[in-house]
Chain A
Amino acid sequence: MIVADRKKIPEIRDMVCRHKRVLLVGCGTCVTVCLAGGEREVGILGSAVRMSLKLAGHTGVQLDECTIERQCEDAFIDVLAPRVKDYDAICSLGCGAGVQTLAERFPSTPVYPGLNTQFIGILESQGVWTEKCLGCGNCRLGEFAGVCPITRCAKRLLNGPCGGSRQGKCEVDADRECAWQRIYDRCVALGTLEQLDAIAAPQDWSTGIDGGPRKVVREDQCIVGLGPKA
């Protein structure tokens, strides 16, 4: 899932304080699961921002709350559309995709981000999320025993560890696992150590963000006659 965490209250307050009526919009998908931007968090944030606005002397701002099921899909934004005309700004608690989808749907309404979108990751333990995938567009997990060095090695090494691994941890941050220790250990456990003997070719970054913003077109899913939506 996409993992995000909330921006600090003063930052959100300073973005919205110039507006009279602000709608705080949560999202019921990834950011609900990672406890950053669902209905519960919208409620808590709404109260905190109202208090912060008041303390900072911005008494004329009306801040209301709502949560929709998914901010990154137009069909789900339909339920929000009738309400938006009553507000002069939106603060989205969706991920970056959600913020931008709202901004495109409502061209005359400023949309501010309430979250910092972090990564594609997992819930590792209660309250701890970790990054697992960079979305490089060319998955090579089969080469690396199911552990992604492009995402999980700080230096994106494809041919083995640097000299900085210590007790299975990364030299950049002792709280992070060394991806190459994990790859090595898994290969040992799977009896596939010889697969690490081959030189791993340099990554083709053109399928990732370095190739420019990406688009997936599935002709079989496009509506016949209309073709892919521009």
Chain B
Amino acid sequence: MTNQASDRYVSSLQAALAGGQFVFTGEIGPPKGVSVEKCLHQAEQYLKGRVAAVNVTDIQTAVMRLGSLALSHLLAERGMEPVFQMVTRDRNRLALQSDLLGAYVLGIRNVLALTGDHVSMGDHPQAKCVYDLDSVGLLSAMTMLESGHDLGLDSKGAPNVLEGSPKFFKGCCVTPCTEEVAPQIIKLEKKVAAGAQFVQTQAVYEPEAFDKFMGEVRRRGINAPVMVGIVMLKTVAMGRYMNSSVPGVKVPEATLDRLAKAAKDDRQKVSIEICAELVRAMKPFCQGAHLMTLGWDHCVPEIIRQAT
């Protein structure tokens, strides 16, 4: 926990969003292995002091790697506030609750509840999927832990009592540009009812669709701050891949054309411009932006500079 957090807020991210400023978060992916210095160094150099918090992905795309909890802790040690991403794919409710308590005692306060990509997408397709809880169940579990209880019952049928309870800033995800938005909104409402206090979205490249989505969010009375997801478009091929294979993400042809027409040496510059323009376009409808630069962390300062 950093110095911005006060008695009222459990984390700087919560304080920043409550303060009404437009908030940026970044993201790092733990390495496949134990060489953590490179990603920590990148985070320290390009994200520290620029974003309110840094998400740490949890065995992203079901590709085995170092855990989110450990790297979140290392970030906190270096003075960066982590958002501990937690998927329900790999742990049952015993392990999820236990790791939440572990995260709390290690000083981690922001937790993003996710279901996680299916194991068939990753590099261990033979693994057993757990999915004991879904993301709504995980948020309910966090809320329960905060109340001083866990999901289990004692011999009299009452919830088990904890020795000391944690306090989190609880987040969730939503896919705003999916084909069928209504079920996403119903689920988002349940996530907030279960305890979600902030929302980070899947990648958005269509500001108009996002505007429409946010209109629906407001109409349903969902009040949690929403940070729009910005995934850096590094190549045209990546955009085409997302269009064909990543449901709920649509990169407009005009955006792809713009990147295609840029001279090779200018592509990164154009990628940065696209990110910054997306943020500027969607800023009026939301409370922050979650920047996912996919290893191009060095672009974050310039994206933020151009977007603000």
Contacts and interface: CB of A to CB of B under 8 A. Distances in A.
Max chain B Cβ within 10 angstroms of own Cβ: one of A159, A167, A193, A203: A159
A197 B247 contact: no
10 contacts: A155-B118, A155-B129, A156-B129, A157-B134, A158-B137, A160-B136, A165-B180, A165-B247, A171-B118, A184-B182
Contacts of A155: 89, 115-116, 118, 129, 131, 134
Contact of B190 (A156, A162, A164, A197): A197
Nearest to B93: A202
B46 to A, nearest CB: 28
A54 interface: no
Contacts, number: 89
A199 B151 contact: no
B134 A163 contact: no
A144 interface: no
A205 B132 contact: yes
B248 A159 contact: no
A163 B93 contact: no
Interface in B85-131: 89, 93, 115-116, 118, 120-121, 129, 131
Given A180-B183, A196-B186, A199-B190, A171 B132 contact: no
Contact of B178 (A154, A165, A193, A196): A165
A136 B194 CA distance: 25
A42 to B, nearest CB: 32
B27 to A, nearest CB: 17
Interface residues of B, number: 36
B255 interface: no
Max chain B Cβ within 10 angstroms of own Cβ: one of A155, A158, A163, A205: A163
B247 A184 contact: no
Interface in A46-92: none
A161 interface: yes
Nearest to A169: B247
A139 interface: no
B211 interface: no
Contact of B247 (A154, A166, A173, A202): A166
B179 interface: yes
A180 B115 CA distance: 15
Nearest to A154: B118
Contact of B120 (A167, A172, A202): A172
A202 B137 contact: yes
